[in-house]
Amino acid sequence: MYQHSDKHLVAVDCIIFGFEKGSLKLLLVKRKIEPCCGEWSLMGGFLFENESLDEAASRILKQLTGLENVYLRQFHAYGEMQRDPAARVISVAYFALIKIREHDYTLVQEYDARWFPFAEKPALIFDHDTMVAAALDRLRLEAKTHPVGFELLPEKFTLPQFQSLYECIYQRKLDNRNFRKSILSTGILEKLDEKDRTGSKKGAWLYRFDKNNYRELLTKGFRFNLTISE
Amino acid sequence: MYQHSDKHLVAVDCIIFGFEKGSLKLLLVKRKIEPCCGEWSLMGGFLFENESLDEAASRILKQLTGLENVYLRQFHAYGEMQRDPAARVISVAYFALIKIREHDYTLVQEYDARWFPFAEKPALIFDHDTMVAAALDRLRLEAKTHPVGFELLPEKFTLPQFQSLYECIYQRKLDNRNFRKSILSTGILEKLDEKDRTGSKKGAWLYRFDKNNYRELLTKGFRFNLTISE
DNA sequence: CCAAAAGTGTTGACCGTACACCCATGA
DNA sequence: TCATGGGTGTACGGTCAACACTTTTGG
């Protein structure tokens, strides 16, 4: 079947988001092959004959971070003729949300990779800047209607941290009273009996994402909906 | 470069939406090649060496409908190993919104294609049912925040038609007073001095999408936002 | 005791939603 | 004159947005 049709190189590129010290970060690698060897790029790789696109994305993410079973979503396929000057390559882009503290630092070093705060991101090869911009758009969309913030924070986190994450994602100051009200009113945060005193002398209460209650609420028709007006 | 990497067949499949006689429709073709010859499927084709994904989608849409420059958006790439039993094929899915009256009926006949009301859609080959469901989800998302309804209606249309379209998309009855209020308040509809009397004896006023005013409004920070609660 | 971050309530404006009757016309 | 679909306005409740001071504690 289909013998006479053209075949193509298919790549998968991963936009890897993290959050640390109050800023949203991006994991980038220094490219080791031509063309554009030595320049910054997204982590990517070619699709194998015997794996699905999702499997390829997981494989590539694991290669660089050591992580599995993290939040990873396809968001767009890029297929312009000249996007890679060396060859005609179709690239399917995925974005991942990971907890920075949990990834494998040694792997990142091996790959000559680095975490960049979003604001300090260098120019990337090919159409990777476009991909990053699209991924951020998608993240913004997701973060309003799904509790994805938790994917980027450690298991225990404070409300000021949580708010700061949203402020990074939307590049905007939020009112802390309104933010707390709306996030707490969802009932998906579990307040712990511990404080985090690294950020202040008074200390901030730690919370945990109550996944079970979230699932429970979903079945009752609840929809996560943080209102952040554009 | 990249000599040792696997190459793949890449297809593009189009979910083609239309709206006619108060129902949302889907343009499907009867497949002419094995496997699954004779079964209903989406219109698709393989990506050529010398065209981008978007170009392939336009080409394939034009092949079947004769239309160019219509609303056409990529929404997902499908890459499961076994999705096509005959070969390993990556498929990039696009959805199109067209005005049924404007398409080329003879082409559709040549291809053994047919418009199906959404509710009467037959089972499709491979993962095409999944694609259709995903496309509808995407259409619902789009229709809330972008004035895509106009892509499916003739240039001049009545408010009852417009409302009926939204009722089809969201599978729900809407209150006509509220619907009119919200759509008219956007200021992107231009009321014409004509009535359409095909639907009733009284006749309904015809409107036209005021594209220029819409663009104008966008620059002023306006965002289309029809509130249709899930 | 002071600096620095955490935490806490109220009000007004706007928006979404619910709801029922009259109008115009051709048959 | 009647059946059919087209068109119209209001009131209530809930949600969003704006806003400033007190608390805690380590240094």
Please count the CA atoms within 13 angstroms of the CA of B153 that sit on its side-chain side: 23
Question: Which of A3, A4, A9, A127 to mutate to test binding with chain B, by most B CBs within 10 Å of its CB?
Answer: A9
The first and second tokens of residue B74, run together, are 């990529």
Sign of CA dihedral B183, B187, B190, B193: positive
Quote the CA–CA distance of A210 and B37 in Å, as a whole number: 50
Q: What whole-number distance in Å separates Cα of residue A136 and Cα of residue A174?
A: 19
Q: Of A208, A200, A16, A50, which is closest to residue A121 (Cα–Cα)?
A: A16
Q: CB count, 10 Å around CB of A223?
A: 11
Q: In a mutagenesis test of the A interface, which of B73, B81, B222 is the best target, namely the one with the most A β-carbons within 10 Å?
A: B81
DSSP state of A22: T
Q: Residue A8: beta bridge partners?
A: B8
Among the partner-chain residues B54, B56, B77, the one whose CB lies closest to the CB of A92 is: B77
The pTM of the full predicted model, rounded to 2 decimals, is 0.95
Q: Which residue of B has its CA nearest to A77?
A: B77
Q: What is the DSSP letter of A149?
A: H
Distance in angstroms: CA B223, C1' C16: 17
Assign A43 to helix, strand or coil.
strand
Contact (Cβ atoms closer than 8 angstroms) between residue A115 and residue A26: yes
Whole-angstrom CA distances from B175 to A183, B183, B189 are 31, 12, 19
For β-strands B7-20 and B89-97, DSSP reports them as parallel
A26-67 tens-digit pLDDT: 999 999 998 999 999 999 999 999 999 999 999 999 999 999
Instruction: Kindly list the residues from chain A whose CB atom is less than 8 angstroms away from the CB atom of residue B230.
Output: 223
- Chain A nearest-CA distance from B229, in A, is 11
User: How confident is the model over B49-108, as pLDDT tens digits?
Assistant: 999 999 999 999 999 999 999 999 999 999 999 999 999 999 999 999 999 999 999 999
Residue pLDDT tens, chain B, 230 long: 687 899 999 999 999 999 999 999 999 999 999 899 999 999 999 999 999 999 999 999 999 999 999 999 999 999 999 999 999 999 999 999 999 999 999 999 999 999 999 999 999 999 999 999 999 999 999 999 999 999 999 999 999 999 999 999 999 999 999 999 999 999 999 999 999 999 899 999 999 999 999 999 999 888 899 988 76
Of B1, B8, B77, the CB nearest to A8: B8
Are B43 and B15 in contact by the 8 Å Cβ rule? The answer is no
Q: Flag residues 167-226 of A with CB < 7 Å from strand C.
A: 175-178, 180-181, 199-205
DSSP assigned state of B155 = S
